[in-house]
Amino acid sequence: MAHARIVGLLGLVTMVGLAAACTPPASSTVTPESPAPTTAAPAPVTSAPTTTLADVVPAPTTTQPAAVKAPLASVDYVKAPLTDATDLPDDFTGWAEIQFNSPDDDDDADNDLVYGVVYVPATRSVAKSCIALVHGYSDRRSTYWLVEYAQALQAQGHVVIAADQRNHGDRSTPGPYGGVNKANSPAGMADIVSDSARDVRRSFDWLETEVGCEKYGVVGHSMGGWIATIVAGADARIDGLVTLASGGNFDALLRKSGHDVFVGMSGRPLFLADFGVNETLVKQALVSLDPVDAARWMSERVTVPALTMWHSTDPIIPSASFSALAAAAEANGGRRLTTGGVQYHLVNGWNSPGGDLYETKAYMAERLAS
């Protein structure tokens, strides 16, 4: 124990000695030599500083200006008597195949002849409302939901027309997948949408002549919803607009798309299938597609309060795409309806409150009332 105390005491003495050796006395502090200044220190400023250019012109920032959107697509046309048009007998009721010519600026003249079906109610003498049903990608005028909707709206007292859209149905041109293969490029899809919107407007010209309608509505599914929205934004005659399983915001749509979804849907390749993982392709595609973006049309051109419907399990139209369209409709007094269940991307035709057919009928009855 004594030996331990001695060692401890020696350690303490050693530490104190080292500390003392490392701390120089105040009188022996060394100040390093500094070179003599070569110029005199500036005198303090006593007058107001002079205003410089930097004071009146703000410094440039690194914020980039917002991208300028391309103008919306033009779907205008010179209204003139329709050629190659079906003449509907004055006393006709029921349904009939019809046609009329709708030329555009393209060189595919065979596509200018529109083939459709018209449904005329037994109350034709008092029917004053006409509704166009617009199918989606890869469909045609005889697709199941168009027939179901047409018959239900006809029974309600509306005159209904459903036609093949550009490059679809009997308007297809030769190709490995029919004329619809034009949709395999963004520019091709934009052409189909804008040309079809012009065709729908001309179908109202035909109805105006043959039936004498005073109120007009348009219902579109999927791609047909884009077309229907453009028609409602371009044609002042439109009093009602319904979109089914459709959307806007092509940016969100392109990033969601998957090859398995689109090929599985129709058995045909669609340009959207290649875009979900390629940022460069997305940006290039938006240049062509932005002018036909239904959300932009709904926000910038449509004036009627629209009804937008979508299934919550839809694998084709993502929530962000539908929400962009629905929000634009709501800002204009419209309404959105979201339904559940495994509905895929189809129209279920539910004719009960909350169902798409029921709500469409109720909406059109209100909007197209005389």
Which residues are 353's β-sheet partners?
none
Q: Could you give the CA distance from residue 370 to residue 113 in angstroms, rounded to a whole number?
A: 32
Residue 65, pLDDT score: 44
pLDDT band for position 244 (50/70/90)? very high
- pLDDT, averaged across the chain: 77
What is the Cα 161 distance to its own chain's centre?
25
User: Which CATH superfamily hosts domain 94-367?
Assistant: Alpha/Beta hydrolase fold, catalytic domain (3.40.50.1820)
pLDDT band for position 252 (50/70/90)? confident
For the stretch 262-274, pLDDT in tens is 444 444 545 555 5
Residue 307, pLDDT score: 97
Residue 359, pLDDT score: 93
- What is the pTM assigned to this prediction? 0.77
Rounded to the nearest 10°, the torsion over CA 354, 357, 363, 369 is: -140
CA-CA-CA-CA torsion sign (32, 33, 35, 40):
positive
Residue 317, pLDDT score: 87
Q: Which one of 184-198, 215-229, 344-358 scores highest in mean pLDDT?
A: 215-229
Spatial CA neighbour of 237 closest among 205, 218, 215? 215
For the stretch 59-77, pLDDT in tens is 444 444 445 678 999 998 8
Question: Is the pLDDT confidence value at 288 over 90?
Answer: no
For the chain, what is the HEC assignment?
CHHHHHHHHHHHHHHHHHHHHHCCCHHHCCCCCCCCCCCCCCCCCCCCCCCCHHHHCCCCCCCCCCCCCCCCCCCCCCCCCCCCCCCCCCCCCEEEEEEEECCCCCCCHHHHEEEEEEEECCCHHHCCEEEEEECCCCCCCCCHHHHHHHHHHHHCCCEEEEECCCCCHHHCCCCEEEEHHHHHCHHHHHHHHHHHHHHHHHHHHHHHHHCCCCEEEEEEECHHHHHHHHHHHHCCCEEEEEEECCCCCHHHHHHHCCHHHHHHHHCCCCHHHHCCCCHHHHHHHHHHHHHHCHHHHHHHCCCCCCEEEEECCCCCCCHHHHHHHHHHHHCCCCEEEEECCCCCCCCCCCCCCCCHHHHHHHHHHHHCCC
Residue predicted with more confidence, 359 or 81: 359
Question: Is the pLDDT confidence value at 194 over 80?
Answer: yes
Residue 98, pLDDT score: 96
Tell me what the mean pLDDT of segment 240-245 comes to: 96
Q: Could you give the CA distance from residue 283 to residue 344 in angstroms, rounded to a whole number?
A: 28
Residue 270, pLDDT score: 53
For the stretch 315-342, pLDDT in tens is 788 889 999 999 999 999 999 998 765 5
Question: Is the pLDDT confidence value at 343 over 70?
Answer: no
